[in-house]
Amino acid sequence: MHHCLVAVDSVTGDLFVFVSSFHLPPRVLMNSPTAEKPRLLRGIVLVLVTVALFSITDLCSKYLTRFYPVAFVVWACYTFHLVFIVAALGPRLGKGLVRTAHPGVQIVRGFLLVGASLFFVGALKYMPLAESTSIAFLTPLIVTLLSVVFLKEHVDAARWIAVASGFIGVLVIIRPGSDVFHWAVLLPIGNAVAFASYQVLTRKIAAVESAYTSIFYAGLIGSLLLSAALPYIWVTPQNLAHAALLVFVGVLSGSAHLLLIKAYSHAPASRLAPFTYSQLIWVMLIGFVAFGDFPDAWSLAGIALLVASGIYVATHERASARERTAALASATSGG
């Protein structure tokens, strides 16, 4: 089973979650005890920086939806994300950036990712940053459910309890039937379901696709799909500052994804996963300073329950990976 690491990026809906499934730079395979701690520390620092950058992209996207249609904001994000990735990686990787063994799967993944992005940016338009981001962190829990159905993976009782607790946490946040419930809470839930489906599909091609190639196709397919709708969603930027911000969000997201891959070259996903939840601290602070929003006590309790569930699933994955490695080593030495 591949590890699932999450941070929420409005440009790609949740793209951070899938990178650990793919081929990564070879340095991540080095396990020298003397070098492990410094590499782990560098990986943690890079993840903390990455989630801070993703929080900034979410802030910018939320601001832009005040003036432009959600689909137009997502188009700009995908397009300039793609331009940046091609400019940054194209000269070094050449045709390797676009080479894929599963173009059909990449296209389906692209459709799912565009759907996830539209759901999430729509959520940002109508909901506070903290609540919409925290609900999107349902993704790894939904991945667990879908993995049982489609990948036939075994899930023990403790992880089922963690998944159930995470869903209870979301119910505490959204409180259906109460005065604080808003129809827009369905948008981050839709984002989590779409991206979880995307993640399960990603696992099927993880052994033969690189993270760089899949980041490229995510931007390409998203840009092409939304460009087809551009005559219907185009709004001329009101000023140069808005135009620059539309470009900035895509470039910032691309930069954050490259930092993420760098983080994975220093440490495995299971060690970095708990630190991705620092994004919730960022979005709470940014939401309060920029928009005057801060979760109430019930929302904070639900967020805490959701975070605890996600961290448990991630750490359980790390323990399971060690057990599988030990079993494989024992079987190999026994043979």
pLDDT tier for residue 314 given thresholds of 50, 70 and 90: confident
Answer whether residue 5 is part of any domain. Answer: no
Nearest to 313 by CA among 261, 274, 277, 279: 274
Answer whether residue 68 is part of any domain. Answer: yes
pLDDT score at 73: 97
For residue 265, the Cα-to-chain-centroid distance in whole angstroms is 18
Render pLDDT for 35-72 as a digit per residue (tens, 0 to 9).
577 788 888 899 899 999 999 999 999 999 999 999 99
Counting Cα atoms < 13 Å in the Cβ hemisphere of 243 gives 5
Cα–Cα dist 31/250, whole Å: 35
Render pLDDT for 264-288 as a digit per residue (tens, 0 to 9).
778 776 677 778 888 888 999 999 9
What is the residue type of 127?
M
pLDDT score at 116: 93
Answer whether residue 81 is part of any domain. Answer: yes
For the whole model, what pTM was predicted?
A: 0.81
Q: Where are the beta strands (DSSP E) in 159-202?
A: none
Percent over 90 (pLDDT), the chain:
38
Domain count along the chain: 1
Answer whether residue 310 is part of any domain. Answer: yes
pLDDT score at 64: 97
pLDDT score at 117: 94
Whether residue 21 has pLDDT greater than 70: no
User: Contact at 8 Å (CB) between 136 and 143?
Assistant: no
If 0-12 CB within 10 Å is exposed, 13-18 middle and 19+ buried, where does residue 94 land? exposed
Least confident of 25-39, 117-131, 153-167: 25-39
Whether residue 327 has pLDDT greater than 70: no
End-to-end Cα separation, the chain, in angstroms: 24
Answer whether residue 222 is part of any domain. Answer: yes
306: domain range? 15-334
pLDDT tier for residue 238 given thresholds of 50, 70 and 90: very high
Answer whether residue 177 is part of any domain. Answer: yes
Answer whether residue 9 is part of any domain. Answer: no
Answer whether residue 3 is part of any domain. Answer: no
Whether residue 138 has pLDDT greater than 90: no
User: Contact at 8 Å (CB) between 263 and 46?
Assistant: yes
Average pLDDT over every residue of 102-130: 92
Render pLDDT for 153-199 as a digit per residue (tens, 0 to 9).
777 888 888 888 888 888 888 887 676 678 888 999 999 999 888 88
| Average pLDDT of every residue of the chain | 82
Nearest-5° Cα angle at 303, 299 to 307: 175
DSSP notation for 102-171: -HHHHHHHHHHHHHHHHHHHHHHHHS-HHHHHHHHTTHHHHHHHHHHHHS-----HHHHHHHHHHHHHHH
pLDDT score at 89: 92
